[in-house]
Amino acid sequence: MPGNSSSLALFMRQRSALVNYASNIIGSRVLAEDLVQEAWLRFDAASKGRFLDDATGYLYRIVRNLALDSKRRDAREYSVTNASDYDIAVQVSADEAPDPETVILYKDDYAKAMEALGELPERTRIACEMHRFGGAKLREIATYLDISVPLAHKLVADGIDHCRQRLGGWP
C-alpha cells in the first residue's frame, strides 16, 4: 500500500470525520466516500511518503477542494442537461484543460469513458464528444450535425446518461 505508516495511520484516524465533512458539502455519503479515497491518493502523492507538518489540515483542504469541485461540476451539468431554456444551456462551457496531476489520476476513467462513448450511436457520440471534450455549445453542435438545438441538447443528455450508467457516475 502506498504511503508511510504514520501518514496512513493519520488518514485512517481521520477517515470517518473526512467522510462526514465531504458529505456535508456535497450532500451524498456515497460520493463522499469516493471523494475521500481520491483525497488519500492525492495526499499520498503530494507527501511522497514523508509525513507533513500540518498533515491533518492538508487532508481537509484536499477534501474540501475536491468536494467543491464536484459540487460545481454537478451544478453545471444539471444546468445543461435539465435546462428548459436552451439559450441558458448553450452558454455553459466545458472546463478548461486539466492539469497533469488530474490527467494521471483519471487516465483509467478516461479510457472507460471512451469505451462507453464508443457504444453510442454516431450522432449521439459526436454531440457528446463535441460538448464534453471540445467545449462546443449546443448551437454549434446543432449546426454541425444539421439538427435543432433541442435535439442537440437531447443527444448530449442521452450520451451523458449512458456514460454515467456505464461508469457509475461521470463528472
pLDDT for the residue 83: 53
Tally Cβ neighbours within 10 Å of residue 121.
12
Q: Which three cell numbers stand for residue 29?
A: 455519503
Q: How far is CA 107 from the centre of its chain?
A: 13
pLDDT band at 147 (very low <50, low <70, confident <90, very high): very high
Using CA atoms, how far apart are residues 72 and 95, in angstroms rounded to an integer?
A: 11
- The owner of cell 444546468 is 79
pLDDT for the residue 20: 92
pLDDT for the residue 1: 41
pLDDT band at 154 (very low <50, low <70, confident <90, very high): very high
For residue 149, which of 158, 159, 140 has the smallest C-alpha distance?
140
Percent of the chain at pLDDT > 90 equals 12
| pLDDT tens digits, 100-132 | 666 666 677 767 777 888 899 999 988 888 888
pLDDT for the residue 155: 92
Using CA atoms, how far apart are residues 10 and 7, in angstroms rounded to an integer?
A: 5
For residue 94, which of 79, 111, 109, 104 has the smallest C-alpha distance?
79
pLDDT band at 73 (very low <50, low <70, confident <90, very high): confident
| Single pTM value for the model | 0.46
Please enumerate in sequence order all residues whose Cβ is within 8 A of that of 43, keeping only pairs 6 or more positions apart, or say none.
7, 11, 55, 58, 59, 62
E-strand stretches of 5-137: none
- The owner of cell 461508469 is 167
pLDDT band at 17 (very low <50, low <70, confident <90, very high): very high
